[in-house]
Amino acid sequence: MPAPPSLAELLASTEPFALLDDARAPAGQARSRLLHGFTGVLACASVEDLPAWQAQLQAAIDAGQHVLLLADYQWGLELHDLPPSACEHDGATGLRALLFAQQQLLDTTEVAQWLATPGPTRCGLLGWRPAHDRQRFIQSIARIHAAIRRGDTYQVNHTFALQGLAHGDPAAIHAQLRQRQPAAFGALIRLPQQHWVLSLSPELFVRVDDGVVSAQPMKGTVAAGDNPAEAAHWLATDGKNRAENLMIVDLLRNDLARIALPGTVQVPALFQVQPVGRVLGMTSTIQARLAPQTDLATLLQAVFPCGSITGAPKRSTMALIQQLETASPQPHARGLYTGAIGWLQGGTDAARMQLCLSVPIRTIELSPHPGGGHYARLPVGAGITIDSDAASEWDECLLKGDFACRDMAGLSLFETMRVDAQGKVLSWPAHRARLLASARQLSLPLGPNTLDQAFNQQQGRLAAGPPRRLRLSLAADGRLDWHCSVLEPLPGTGPVTLLLSPSPIDTPHWLLAHKTDLRQQYDQAIATATAAGAFDMLFFNAQGQLTEGARSNVFVKLAGHWYTPPVAAGLLPGVMRGQLLADPTLKARERTITRDELLAAQELLVCNALRGALPAVLAP
């Protein structure tokens, strides 16, 4: 078998590829699949198209194509005679088969080496927010309890989305998540238009091997806590969780019976507990032998979507899910989440079919952000029964998203402040407000009381002396670090000199508004400017608009008036910039500034909290 292309080679292209990753496979067993050489998509928008779609799929397999199957949860609505969702998820296209010319089988070591080939890269997930608040979740649980009392349902899988942002290479993010929470049914998928799927699913939906169909629903969870063994014993013996699991086992037994040889449905394993990150999940296994007439279309119609992520009975519960999750003011369409991801080979008939589909839980979908980077979407959910406590279920949902939300920012925040000759930190209230606001927006743990206590201790240690530079860093885990050094005077007198960057800024715009340590381009610019005897280098965005210097904000005098670029152009709202905008004598205003306007400016000022406002000129 030829060696697979490197990840760097695949990333250099814009073509889709997929890694279906069994990170829990025994050593040396090649259970992961790398699909590449994208040739096209076969989409099935409705149930009536299934026969024709299946025929096309069989022809592709016969021609040597390798198949990635993706199914959005909403595709199952038509299967159960339910109306389509009024809230369409971005990128959702029902059921589709992505076709690839090449496939390599890899073991866990080979996958880890393959993911590491581009080398270290800065990346992260941050800014997570629930799409709706705790109170709305509690109200939804009350509605579910009312439906259970009416007899409309016995159990409902209720979900909502966590929404955040991603920076850096999605493949590098997946590699970090894989180390944190290795999963048997993981997936790293690049879709058309730079949409990505990063799945760390622990749940098997359905597997077909040698005519035997297996399902392994996961139902029942608990926090692993400080004593996982004790928590596992509690989960395996807890009556509520066992009942919840057994309901879904019965549902899937009935689903499989529709496509199985009579008398072959069995349950070889019940209530098995396994770790899933910081929670424990309980699974059971159902098996049957496929009836000879069962093909892929028949199988999907019988079992999709998986009962573990609907509840029971399936159809009426899906109707209730529609009411709850697509209701205003914040409608939520599940999309690929709780649908299916997997591979198919051999054929679409029972005799040849080899199939493995996961339930895409613990799954992040990335879509391009117009300002760079990606929007991130991580739905989470809980199985609600009559005994469920709404507050506990809310906490459990957040814990399920913890693998992607905790310490995954991939950056730190910092503030650089001037300490005067008396040992006083200047402009502390403005630095404090900016740091707290950025920490809140990017979901870094920092409370005002913690910050104030740390600052008061640091201020108390500062004595009189020469002007100093004080740097405060906030790490992704909430750790605060202080560093103080003497502030050396600038060489020479008169206006400082500025260079112009030959390259536009390459950091996502939404990150530039925060003072982060993602500064490689800026640090290189400062080094270049310093070597040339200049103070700073000015940057432009992709639209050719002036933004900021690598270590300063810039003000430009045009036709007798002072202007500074708006934050929307992609820049940090500096502390000194804010003071100059508030200065009634300067009367400065925000305005977009072009390169030509900069070159024709009457005067220039650059400013930061360390040096104040400095007259400046452009280098010849």
Helix, strand, coil percentages, rounded to 5, for the chain: 30, 35, 35
DSSP type of residue 225: -
Burial per residue of 330-352, b for 16 or more beta-carbon CB atoms within 10 angstroms, e otherwise: bebbbbbbbbbbbbbeebbbbee
Give the distance, in angstroms, between the CA of residue 286 and the centroid of all CA atoms in the same chain: 32
Q: Which residues contact 152 (CB under 8 A, 6 or more apart)?
A: 316, 317, 320
> SS3 for 377?
strand
Q: Which two tokens stand for residue 446?
A: 């920092």
Q: Which residues contact 453 (CB under 8 A, 6 or more apart)?
A: none
Report strand pairing: 612-618 vs 468-474: unpaired
- Residue 219 annotated in active site: yes
Contact yes or no for 420/426 (Cβ under 8 A): yes
> How far from 516 is each of 202, 475, 521, CA to CA, in Å?
34, 10, 12
> SS3 for 338?
coil
E strands, 440-573, are: 468-474, 480-486, 496-500, 536-540, 546-549, 553-558, 561-564
Contact yes or no for 95/53 (Cβ under 8 A): yes
Report d(CA 100, CA 60) in Å as an integer. 10
- Residue 415 annotated in active site: no
In the set 48, 219, 488, 515, the catalytic residue is 219
Reported for 486-493, long-range contacts at CB under 8 A and 24+ positions apart, including other chains, are 487/418, 487/419, 487/610, 490/535, 490/611, 490/614
Contact yes or no for 378/363 (Cβ under 8 A): yes
Q: Which residues contact 329 (CB under 8 A, 6 or more apart)?
A: none
> Of 358, 405, 407, whose CA–CA distance to 379 is shortest?
405
> How far from 167 is each of 7, 80, 365, 443, CA to CA, in Å?
18, 39, 13, 14
Give the distance, in angstroms, between the CA of residue 108 and the centroid of all CA atoms in the same chain: 23
> How far from 273 is each of 58, 243, 598, CA to CA, in Å?
38, 15, 65
In the set 15, 88, 110, 203, the catalytic residue is 203
> SS3 for 415?
strand
Q: Supply the DSSP string of 481-495, one letter for each residue.
A: EEEEEE-PPPSSSSP
Q: Which two tokens stand for residue 374?
A: 């990606």
Q: Supply the DSSP string of 20-82, one letter for each residue.
A: EE-TTSPTT---EEEEEEEEEEEEE-SGGGHHHHHHHHHHHHHTT-EEEEEE-TTHHHHHTT-
Which positions are annotated as active-site residues? 203, 219
